[in-house]
Amino acid sequence: MLPQPAEPDWQLLAQQHEARAKRRRLLIGVGVGAGVLVLGGGAVATALLTRGGDPEPSSTASASASPGKGSKGPGGASPAPASSAPLKPAVSASELFGKAAFDLGGHNYVRKTVTTDIPCWKASAFGLGDVLTANNCSQVMRATYFSGSTAITVGVAVFKSEAEARKTESAFKGQVQSLDGKDGVNKFCRNVACPTTHAVTGRYVYLTVAGPLNGSAGDQNPIARTAGQELATYFGEALAKDAGADKG
C-alpha cells in the first residue's frame, strides 16, 4: 500500500499569507505618506520662492483652487465683472462759468474773464504746479469775478480719476494764480497775501484766491474772505453734481 502524501500545514500557510498582506499594506501606506511629504515640501518651497521669505501660517486643510475662467464664486453665482465704463468728458469752462452774473448771500458777482490752462502749472503759484503735474492734472479752468471792490479768481483742476484729485489734495501746497491782465482785469493778489481756499469733489480740485481790485493785500480783508468762500461753495456744489453724474 502506497504511503499517503502529508497534509499541508494550513495554519502555517494562512499565517504566511497574512504576513505578506500586512507587508503590502505597510508599503502602500508609506509610499502615499512619502508622496504627501514631497508635495508639501514643494508647496512650501514655491511659497518661499514667490514671497522671498517665510510663508505665512496657513491651515493644514487642503486649499481650494483659484476659480478659473467660467467658474463661479461662493453660492454658485458668477462673479460680477468689474465696471470699465469710461468717465464722461469733464465739464468745460464755458459750461462751468456760463453765467455772466449771479447773486450769492446778498452779493453780486460779475464774470470778467475766463481761460483754460494746459499744462496745469501755468495756472499755479508757490509750488502748486509740482503737485498738479505729479498727479497727472490735465487742465485748469479759471475765471475771475468782480464783486464791489473785490476780485476773485476761481480755478478748477481736472484729473483723470478721483484718486488723483485726492492725492493732490493730501499733498496740497501753494495756490491758484489770479487770472488778470486781460478783459479789464488789473493785477491783484500778486506778491501779496490774499485769502485762498481749496477742496476736492470727484475728479476736480477747486480753488479760489480773492483780494482788493487795487492789488493790495487781502488776507485781513473780511470782504475778500467772504467772497472767496461764497464762490468756493457755489462752484463746489456745481462740480459735485457733475461728479455725481460720473458715478451714476
Give 151-172 pLDDT, tens digit per residue: 999 999 999 999 999 999 999 9
Q: Rounded CA gap, 185 and 137, in Å?
A: 26
pLDDT confidence bin for 243, thresholds 50/70/90: confident
d(CA 42, CA 49): 10
Distances 45 to 38, 63, 117, 198, 201 between C-alpha atoms, Å: 10, 16, 55, 52, 48
How many Cβ atoms sit within 10 Å of the Cβ of residue 182?
10
Judge whether residue 218 has pLDDT over 90: yes
* DSSP strand pairing (175-176 vs 101-104): unpaired
pLDDT at 196 over 60: yes
**Per-residue pLDDT, 246:** 66
- Above 50 in pLDDT, residue 52? no
Q: Burial of 208 by CB count in 10 Å (0-12 exposed, 13-18 middle, 19+ buried)?
A: buried
CA separation for the pair 234, 104 (Å, rounded): 8
Question: Is residue 6 scored above 70 in pLDDT?
Answer: no
Stretch among 1-5, 76-80, 170-174 having the lowest mean pLDDT: 76-80
Each residue of 78-117: pLDDT tens digit? 434 433 456 789 999 999 999 999 999 999 999 999 999 9
Other beta carbons less than 10 A from residue 209's beta carbon? 28
- pLDDT the model gives residue 244: 79
First vs last Cα of the chain: how many Å apart?
111
Compute the mean pLDDT over every residue in the chain, rounded to the nearest whole number: 77
Pick the residue with more confidence: 242 or 151? 151
